[in-house]
Amino acid sequence: MRMIQGLVDWLQPEQQQTSGSEPLSTALERVRHTVRPGSLVVVISDFFGLDEHCNRHLSRLRQHSDVIGCQVMDPAEQFLPKGRYPISDGEASAMLDTHQQRLRVQFERMSETHGDEPRRMFQRHKCGWMVLQTTDDPVELLGRE
């Protein structure tokens, strides 16, 4: 736990904690410039902020380090039962009504894409990959990998 807290403190100094989260590409760039060659880098993220800048930084990071991507996913990101769900991006909010078949299918497609794109990017750069469900025991999962 001390190591994880140390990582949090290093990645999000107090001045950044109040301004919200930074893009994944910024964190990857920072790691790329500070990590020693031959290091093992584990990227733990939901990968919602994945973009072409991440692809570039991951490619360069992988040239000199071993990299493992660990995608954290919640079962609600993959399947929602019929119902009405309030959703928000932190600024705007809306109501998601999954009683409509069309919306459920669209949600499932978006979820599938969200799971596949980061995995493909990491595998393209010959990085390790794992998925951690919020319902999993992380100690057990990481012990198996």
pLDDT digits (tens, 9 = 90+) for 30-47: 999 999 999 999 999 999
CA–CA separation, 117 and 120 (whole Å): 5
Q: In the chain, pLDDT over 70 holds for what percent of residues?
A: 83
* Length of the chain as a residue count: 145
Closest CA to 76 of 100, 101, 110, 119: 110
pLDDT digits (tens, 9 = 90+) for 96-145: 788 888 887 888 888 888 889 999 999 999 999 999 888 888 777 766 65
Helix (H, G, I), strand (E, B) or coil at 35: coil
* Mean pLDDT of the region 80-103: 82
Q: How far apart are the first and last CA of the chain?
A: 19
